[in-house]
Amino acid sequence: MNQTLQTLLNATRVTGLEASANGRVVATVQQLDADGTGWQSQIVELPKGSTQPRTLTRHEKGASSPVLDARGRLFYMASNPEGAKAGSCIWHLPQASASPLLLGSRPGGFRSLQVSKSTLFAQAGMHSQASTEAEHAEYSRSRSTMHVSGILHSAFPSRYWASDLGPATDVILVAELPENIEAAASEHEKNARLKKAAEAASKDAVSKDTAGEDSEADSKGNDTSENNDAAEGADSLLSWRVVRMPKGRLLSWKAAPDASFILAAIEVNVADLITGTQLWRIDVATGEKTMLTDVDTVPGHHLSLVDISPDSAKVVLNCARDWTPQQSLRSTSHIMDIATGERTELWPELDHWVAPIWVTNSELAATSDDAGSGSVWFGSATDAAPQRIAGGPGTGEVFTGLARVGAADRSVSGDEAPALISLRNGISVAPHPVRIGLPSDAGAAENTAEVTVEELANPADATDQPGRTENITATAEDGTEIRAWLRLPEGSGPHPLVVFAHGGPWGSWNAFTYRWNPAPFVAAGFAVLLPDPAISTGYGQAMIDRGQQQLGGTPYTDIMALTDATIQRADIDETKQAFAGGSYGGFMANWVAGHTGDRFKAIVTHASLWNTTSMGRSTDNASWDRAMREQGAEYSPHLFAEKITAPMLVIHGDKDYRVPIGQGLELWHALHVHASTPRAADGSLPHRYLYFPDEGHWIESRGNAEVWYRTFIGFLQEHVLGEGPEKPLSLG
């Protein structure tokens, strides 16, 4: 188990792909940092026709957020060792050089990048009372100098996922890129040296005139490092213009391919729903703002931004039906004409949730979960349904991070011919980059088209995946055929079993994950069942509707039916079962604890919902409270605390704002006060609480991730296998 765990946690992994119209492809990789205690990101190139990736960035603290313009010029974010207080800076790496050029630096740094034509767009936080970059620098410095941490909020939410929101407000900074960036940088550096020399000479002259006296500038602190950072931002290679967003919280944004406008999804507070979404068009030249959709444009639905067509005329929107006690969540895609506001549903006969991207001005591609695997879809904007061009049920393949490479024109050939790139993976196969060809006829009647799927240079390390994977099926109480993946150790068994409930609740056990990876458990001798019950995605809307209004009903009975089918196998030991889950899977673990007695010898619950009422009033997810008000009276796990007898390991991070730490604390209290778990002779209980003060919904640091796995597996070994408990030394 040790080797499998170390290989998994130390592996270099691919986290994203970017491509240009001229065929260039780069990837973001995550790898161990210099001292091996954390991870950092760098950017590598995947040369066409080569099996060897080429490392592009070597920043000490990592590099991220790469974007490529149509010519393949690379821009990205990384810190500046000479101005650490500036946060993330913007860099350009010339293709024929190993030396990056600093393009932008400012107090607070930048948050994300996009590039269209010869215009660079950067999302950044600006002091809420500043009207210029200079004022932002001054006001931010004052807040920092005074050591003020307070944030005054006027809208919901005040925090999101694992981050506190505010006090800065989001703006988009816009700069025109020089035709020859290297030449412009050289000229800028030359001018900066001349300016510095002139200032030094002037200062020297003043010093001679005022010998023995402190200069007024120095006494006022005008030569501090903070002021130098601010001056660097004002004297940067690029000239930045501030484009302000409409009132509300910026959820997402897209720069038009012609660089003339920005589309922004803005979250605003509204009655009953608490939050709603507006879509705005902001003119880059004038800053003029035009609302395209309001919170009630489609009553009972949220519209969100997905992608803008290459000709900047149309936009793909996700139309999500609100989850309420009267209706289930449902996701469809719409195409909207930006000029007229006319909307049409995309691929209305496709019964899968997708987020399409434009390939040409009339054709789109998308990925989806698909019956425990994944599919890549391709079709025209007017098709009733697209064609499946890769993956599909039973393949065990999943595709994520889909992007177009090449020109947005099917008549182009050679290196610039349009194609798709994606990260292909599976339950026991780590994500690796592939290039997917396009079908010759997007309008063909067949549901599936033959295309080429080509492996690209892979910068990811292989992971140790012992054992084998099999498919498990069962019939649910309502007659629905349901399924799961089963990861098995080598040998004939019988093996102890641990059941993993997935989160979401909208999700599927179909992709590789570095967090809840079955491999270390399989290496420790456990079979791992990965069930897809009601509310799982990839099985059509009917599968969602079966369980949406009864989170502890049909999803629970589906999981138990699949578990019952699994323990009938000769290679599974039905006397040694455990259950585990995170987030909604943690809700299910808590529900199982209160409904199965001592069937499961151990239950592990991570970032879990315990009391649906207090959860709805403290989470960053505004929709949860209203959606759960009615079914919470029947399906809240805390109502069944007295029936808990199995030993439980509770895991929670203090920075979890999706399922707040209060849920873990309430559960931990209930296990000591209300649960019926037998006590030892000394009065102690077998429950344990693994608390991470600096982690959020996910455990992200290298050391904490190892502690998570070791504590989890150790708890199973103690209570399922009867082995002595072993506490990791790093836990103190």
| pLDDT tens-digit readout, 231-257 | 334 457 899 999 999 999 999 999 999
User: Residues with Cβ < 8 Å from 458, sequence gap 6 or more?
Assistant: 14, 51, 53, 432, 433
Q: What are phi and psi of 485, to 5 degrees?
A: -95, 145
Tallying the residues shown for the chain, one arrives at: 732
The pLDDT value given to residue 219: 38
Q: Considering only residues 257 and 192, tell me which one the structure prediction assigns the higher pLDDT.
A: 257
Backbone angles phi, psi at 276, to 5 degrees: -140, 170
The fraction of the chain above a pLDDT of 90, given in percent, is: 86
Q: How many CB atoms lie within 10 A of CB 564?
A: 11
720 near 573, Cβ under 8 Å?
no
**Nearest in space to 102 (alpha carbons), one of 238, 211, 227:** 238
pLDDT value of position 83: 61
Q: What is the pLDDT of residues 144-159, one digit of tens each?
A: 999 999 999 999 999 9
* Range of lowest pLDDT (235-244, 637-646, 674-683): 235-244
The pLDDT tens digits of the residues spanning 396-423 come to 999 999 999 999 999 999 889 999 999 9
Report how far residue 262's alpha carbon sits from residue 175's, in angstroms, rounded to the nearest whole number.
14
pTM: 0.94
> pLDDT tens, 287-304?
999 999 999 999 999 999
* Dist CA 190 CA 185 (whole Å): 9
d(CA 364, CA 292): 22
Q: Average the pLDDT over each of 204-218, 469-483, 537-551 and give the range with the smallest value.
A: 204-218
Taking phi over 0 as left and psi of -120 to 50 as alpha, with beta for the rest, 607 belongs to: left
pLDDT at 322 > cutoff 80:
yes
Q: Any idea which residue has 């892979």 for tokens? A: 458
Q: What is the C-alpha to C-alpha distance for residues 481 and 229, in angstroms, rounded to an integer?
A: 62
**Tokens matching residue 442:** 């997007």
For residue 605 the two structure tokens come to 């619950």
Residue 115: which pLDDT band, with cuts at 50, 70 and 90?
A: very high
What dihedral do alpha carbons 566, 568, 572, 573 form, nearest 10°? 120
Report the DSSP pairing between strands 63-68 and 301-308.
unpaired
Higher pLDDT: 83 or 418? It is 418
211-215 — which CB contacts under 8 Å span 24+ positions?
none
Q: What percent of the chain has pLDDT over 70?
A: 95
Backbone φ and ψ for 287, nearest 5 degrees, come out as: 80, 5
Distance, in Å, from the CA atom of 508 to the CA atom of 496, rounded to the nearest integer, reads 23
Measure CA of the first residue to CA of the last residue in the chain; give whole Å: 22
Q: What is the mean pLDDT of residues 329-337?
A: 97
Type and span of the H or E element at 692: strand 688-692
Arithmetic mean of pLDDT, 618-634: 93
Position 717 scores a pLDDT of 98
